[in-house]
Structure 1
Amino acid sequence: MAACGLAAVVGLSAPASAADGALDAARAAASYRALEAYLAVPDGSGLYHERYPVQPGDNVYSYEWPYSQVRGAALDLTGMPGALGARYGDDLAARDTGQERYWLESGGTTGKPGYASYPVAPYGGGGDFFYDDNEWVGLFDVQRYLASGDRAALGRARQIFDLVVSGWDTDPSHADPGGVFWTQATWSHDRNTVSNMPGAELGLRLYQITGQRSYLDWSRRMVDWTNAHLLGPDGLYWDHVDLAGTVEKTYWSYNQGVPVGVDVLLYQATHDRAYLAAAQRTASAAYDHYVTGGRLADQPPYFNAIFFKNLLLLESVTGGHTYRDAMRAYADSVWTAQRDPATGLFRFDADGGTQAIQQAAMVQIYAVLAWSPSRYELLY
């Protein structure tokens, strides 16, 4: 049965029980232990392998995008109730330290500092800045600030937003001018849903925290551009548009989830119920496409983690648990079908290996399912 508007979102199935939460927390803990046992690099760097088993020719460390999701897993673990979450405080502090192995103060091509795609010296040679990679870090920083009042995390989130704004396309000769580029790398000039909508989400969170109007204005600008050029007629978002105006129309689950969260935050910022209605429409269309349509298993788990978290943010406003129930059903299915009981690692790839980002995504999913629903308002 497809979700269709608020009436369908609220009250279709039973809420989570205490037993469900305990099981989710146990699964989160077991999945995290496996991540640490098989993918953490034992050299004192605090960094991780890209995958297990390591293959000849692999980099010593993972790229920034997987590492950020490992850090996000530790952050989500700290959000579990009481002592369950408190035991991961030291792990989160260590992941914070590891995150800074990617920070490049000297800046990228726009002169703004940010996180490079690979660790910087002495751990590696750095790499190009990807705006979406930086946005995920900024959103985790905001989550950390909202949960604990960490001012350093908030400051870093503000720096990241400055970097994102510097990535705006200012050339009016381009097809569909405007939008935040995906990366500073010279081999790509795409402007993506994933480089604009998470940027808007970060800006809206910063507006909520600081009241600084420029955050709201920039967020609206990113949203308006994305809606104008990457929103398909069926209510789902395409992937990107290049400088010639060619649109890549692949649907990814995270590209549907983040716009839901953005519209929820726009509703909270402006009290305009049209934004809440837009969030519900996108969530309904995405539910139909992925859940009712049976396509979730075709999406990477790290896309689905972002997808579901944003749907939970919507339910923190509307009430109900249809989307949480779909998240739990997905989590149960993965635990049964994709997990190796001998190692605790999830195997999604044809070669039987495990990527750090996949394992981290499942830790996030189980940890957030163990949260009290009152915490869903912290999610992105």
Structure 2
Amino acid sequence: NGGYFAAANLDGSGAGGDKYVDDNGLTGMIYLEAYDITTGEKKEQYLNSARKCAHWLMNCGLWDDTYGGGFWWSTGKQNKPTQSNALVMQLFLRLYKITGETYYRDWAVSINNWLNSKMYDSNTGLYIWMIDGGGAGTKHTELFTYDNAIMLEAYLIWKDAMNDNSYLAKAQAIGNAMNKTLWDKGYNLYIFHTKDVRITPAWCGWGSQAMIKLYEADGNTAWLSYAKGNIDAINNVLRSTTSKGYYQFAGLNGAGRYTNMEGVDQAWMQRLQAMLSKYK
């Protein structure tokens, strides 16, 4: 019935189990990045692959009335998080911009309304982690760097897709709120989240991507300073001096550094440094 499983063996066998909304939203966005840089038949194939991701999301039953709307994290229906919903909003907005199909726009509007009614914390100007549990649900108010970076990026896409410049100001407001609440001034980096003050390449690094994209949108070089400081801190704390790979987690000063390395962290740091190299 479509959709991507979370994992498989290297030979492609063994795929199964739950499917995750964030995996499928991000996969669709990656297809669209490939669409942006290709031509001809291949370009159309990438667009069609992104649309298949979106159409699975629309028809998989993971958006329902529990907690007033929103996508579940996965087919296991454990919780409804900000990051999954915001990634799907990005995908629908980009597809609306490319195709003009209004059902993508309508889905994006529904997600945005739900996020702002259920997940927005007016005290900090940021979006909370997730809702789970019975009844009206329990809100988990931890504030994650990558959740809010994804929301910031979604609003930059909204600005272009909907031709609404007010969303640049909304993205800038999230950026300023991130730099007030999620930036550690002592170590010059973004923390994992407000109840787990550690550093991790992908999920803290996402803050740098958001700041680079803000700079690309408004030309304010202050955003690049945050992006570079965060990347430099990750390199200092989490990069192996021998293999040059990145460890998964550590305290802000390097204490308790994990010994394992994950593919997502290597890929994300490669991506971030390629993005920043255009400007620094």
State if a TM-score over 0.5 links the two structures: yes
Letter in 2 for 1:340: S
Residue 144 of structure 1 deviates from its aligned partner by: 1.2
User: Following TM superposition, by how much is the alpha carbon of 1:137 offset from its aligned partner in structure 2, in angstroms?
Assistant: 1.1
Aligned equivalents of 2:78, 2:36: Cα separation in 1: 34
Give the structure 1 partner of residue 266 of structure 2.
359
8 Å Cα contact 1:253-1:299 kept in structure 2: no
Deviations 1:301-348 (A, max 9, x none): 212333322332232221122222211122222223322222112224
TM-aligned CA deviation for residue 292 of structure 1: 5.2
Amino acid at match of 2:154: V
Assess if the C-alpha contact under 8 Å between 2:70 and 2:114 holds in 1.
yes
Distance 1:230 1:153, change over 3 A: same
What is the aligned partner in structure 2 of residue 240 from structure 1?
130
Greater CA drift, 203-212 or 300-309 = 300-309
User: Do the aligned partners of 1:165 and 1:180 also contact (CA within 8 Å) in 2?
Assistant: no
Contact 1:167 1:180 in 2 (8 A): no
Q: Which of 344, 353, 369 is the aligned partner of 2:244?
A: 344
Distance change (3 Å), C-alpha of 1:259 and 1:171? closer
Task: Extract structure 1 runs of 4+ deviating beyond 6 A.
Answer: none
CA distance in 2, matches of 1:211, 1:333: 41
Secondary structure in 1 matching 2:32: helix
1:258 aligns with 2:150: yes
CA distance in 2, matches of 1:259, 1:289: 15
Task: Tell me how far apart the structure 1 counterparts of residues 168 and 51 of structure 2 sit (CA, whole Å).
Answer: 26
Q: Which amino acid aligns with 1:179?
A: G
Give the Cα separation in 2 of the matches to 1:357 and 1:257: 17
Alignment match of 2:167 (pick from 251, 262, 275):
275
Is 1:160 aligned to residue 50 of structure 2?
A: no
Shift of 1:279: 1.1
Kindly provide the amino acid, as one letter, of the partner of residue 69 in structure 2. G
Q: Equivalent of 1:142, from 16, 23, 32?
A: 32
Q: C-alpha distance in 1, partners of 2:247/2:199? A: 14
Provide the residue aligned with 2:103 in structure 1.
Answer: 214
Given the alignment of the two structures, is residue 322 of structure 1 paired with residue 222 of structure 2, yes or no? yes
Q: CA RMSD in A?
A: 2.2
CA distance in 1, matches of 2:199, 2:238: 14
Alpha-carbon separation, structure 2, partners of 1:132 and 1:230 = 17
Please name the residue that 1:231 is paired with: 120
Distance, in Å, in 2 between the alignment partners of 1:304 and 1:168 is 31
> Secondary structure at the residue paired with 2:112?
helix
Give the C-alpha shift of residue 122 in structure 1. Answer: 5.2
Shift of 1:171: 4.8
RCO greater where, 1 or 2, for CA within 8 Å and sep 6 or more? 1
Instruction: Say if 2:158 and 2:167, in contact at 8 Å, map to a contact too.
Output: yes
Counterpart position of 1:29: none
Judging changes above 3 Å, is the alpha-carbon distance between structure 1 residues 167 and 236 closer, same or farther for their aligned structure 2 residues? farther
Q: In 2 relative to 1, CA 362–330 (structure 1 residues): closer, same or farther, beyond 3 Å?
A: same
Aligned residue pairs: how many?
258
Q: State whether residues 69 and 114 of structure 2, in contact with CA within 8 Å, keep that contact through their aligned partners in structure 1.
A: yes
Question: Structure 1 residues 125 and 217, CA, compared in 2 at 3 Å: closer, same or farther?
Answer: closer
- The answer to whether the Cα contact below 8 Å between 2:120 and 2:126 also exists between their aligned partners in 1 is yes
TM-score, normalization: structure 2?
A: 0.84
The yes-or-no answer on 1:296 pairing with 2:190 is yes
1:168–1:181 CA contact under 8 A, matched in 2: no
Q: Decide whether aligned partners of structure 1 residues 320 and 189 sit closer, same or farther in structure 2, where only a CA change above 3 A counts.
A: same
With the length of structure 1 as denominator, give the TM-score of the two structures: 0.63
Q: Which residue in 1 is equivalent to 2:74?
A: 183
Shift of 1:355: 1.8
Contact kept, 8 Å, 1:312 with 1:324, in 2: the verdict is yes
Select the structure of larger CA radius of gyration: 1
